[in-house]
Amino acid sequence: MAYLTDRKRAHGLGSSHSGTRRHWRMSMSSIALAILIPLFVFTFGAVLGGTYEEVVIYYQRPIPAAIAVLTFIVGFWHFRTGAQVMIEDYSQGFTRRALIVGVTCLSYALAAIGVLALIRLAL
């Protein structure tokens, strides 16, 4: 029979056993997005209203293409994690699992569509 104090049982564990790690990753992705979103707006704004040929030529350059790809990936990853936390807080049972799977599939699909569209545009 083990005698553990409440503190010993809870040390290093959140209520979901991974709260600190998730919070840290969300904070890091927030910082990354705080840098990437203005860069994306400035790079995208440079070709906004241009012809198709100008946009293709612009996104064939590596810096604007890399900024757009990183923004898609980090943005949709941040969306997935945030939506999953919200779903875990406000739903239960099978609904929770189904919504988490749906949000995960949606975010990965949208990120893949954005990245593949940009790759197709750049190549």
**pLDDT tens-digit series, residues 1-55:** 567 776 666 665 555 556 678 888 899 999 999 999 999 999 999 899 999 999 9
The pLDDT value recorded for residue 17 is 59
CA quadruple 66, 70, 76, 82: dihedral, nearest 10:
-160
Mean of pLDDT over the chain: 89
| Domain with 31 in it | 18-122
- Residue 63 sits in a domain whose CATH number is 1.20.1300
User: Does residue 77 form part of some domain?
Assistant: yes
Residue spans of beta strands (DSSP E) within the chain: none
CA distance 24 to 39: 23
Question: In the chain, how many domains are there?
Answer: 1
The pLDDT value recorded for residue 36 is 97
